[in-house]
Amino acid sequence: MSSSVMEQQHKKSLIAIHIAVLLFGISGPLGAVVALPATDIVFSRSLIGAATLLGMLLFTRQPIAPQSKLDWAFFAITGSLLAAHWVTFFMSIQMAGVAVGLTTVSTFTIWVALLEPALSRRFPKLSDIAIAAVVILGVILVAPEFNWQNDTTRGAVWGIFSAILFAFLSLSNRQLVKRYSGLVVAFHQQFIAGLCLLATVSLYTTRPSNSDLVSLLILGSLCTAVPHALFIASLTHINTRTASLITCLEPVYGIILAAILISQFPDLRTLIGCAVILSVACYASIKPAN
């Protein structure tokens, strides 16, 4: 393959991954305007996303079924983790706003750096512990007071908890993607996430508005299945370090879109806290592993 063709593919992949992260970023503003509980939003997003992914898998004729009973169990566990991650993410968005929710959830790379050695019975590196301490400083800046009754404080805590859940999910997915494509993993996890919330949703008794239905449809397809497919496809020509750095732009895109689409503007203290958290999240995603 000639260098010009490779360069062209690299550029196309860069565009694709930026579009994917931009679409992921839209989920924040959409979650803020949907007048439904977080469980209802995740239930709808999961099943709509799973249906879209199933269509992609059938179109590309990829094998879908898990290969063993152990993998069935693994998909069930990771799907449950995804459900909990998304519910706490939308709780954070609804309580604290798009800026705080997206930024605190973006710290998952830092928790991966702390959890990975802990799960291997190794002590985390001092640099990773220092990074986590800086993140806590950023959370202190975005939270106006240490009062659980304050919505922003609760939202920031739920965002951090959501990030930790996603860190566990990311570490688990490293094992699954060795045997299955990213689309297969995403399909099973999103389908199971929807099933996990069957008993909690209020959609059986409360009919969402037409605008909420449109938002849920966009959230499940355009902001979930489509960017996931674009992100996976772009990794063929983009290295992991570049992909991780671009992923750090999701809160930036989300904050800008929230200002444009729903007129939600964070104050200066929140912006400073977000900048601190995003800076260390970007550093954690690109720093050498050893």
- Sign (positive or negative) of CA dihedral 17, 224, 155, 81: negative
**Nearest one of 237, 287, 215, 252 to 15, comparing CA atoms:** 237
Burial of 70 (0-12, 13-18, 19+ CB in 10 A): exposed
| pTM score, whole prediction | 0.85
**Nearest one of 286, 252, 203 to 35, comparing CA atoms:** 203
- Give the chain's end-to-end CA distance (angstroms, integer): 33
> Using an 8 Å Cβ cutoff, are 45 and 216 in contact?
yes
Q: Which two tokens stand for residue 136?
A: 């806590």
Q: What is the pLDDT along the chain (290 residues), one digit of tens a residue?
A: 566 767 777 788 788 888 888 898 898 898 888 888 899 999 999 999 999 999 989 998 888 898 888 989 999 999 999 999 999 999 999 998 888 888 888 888 778 777 777 777 777 777 777 777 777 777 777 776 677 788 888 998 999 999 899 888 888 877 787 788 888 888 999 999 999 998 888 765 677 888 889 999 999 988 988 888 787 777 667 765 677 677 778 888 888 888 888 888 888 888 887 788 778 777 766 665 55
- Three-class SS state of 90: helix
Q: Which two tokens stand for residue 102?
A: 């997206």
At residue 233, what is the residue type?
A
Q: Distance (Å, rounded) from C-alpha 130 to C-alpha 35?
A: 39
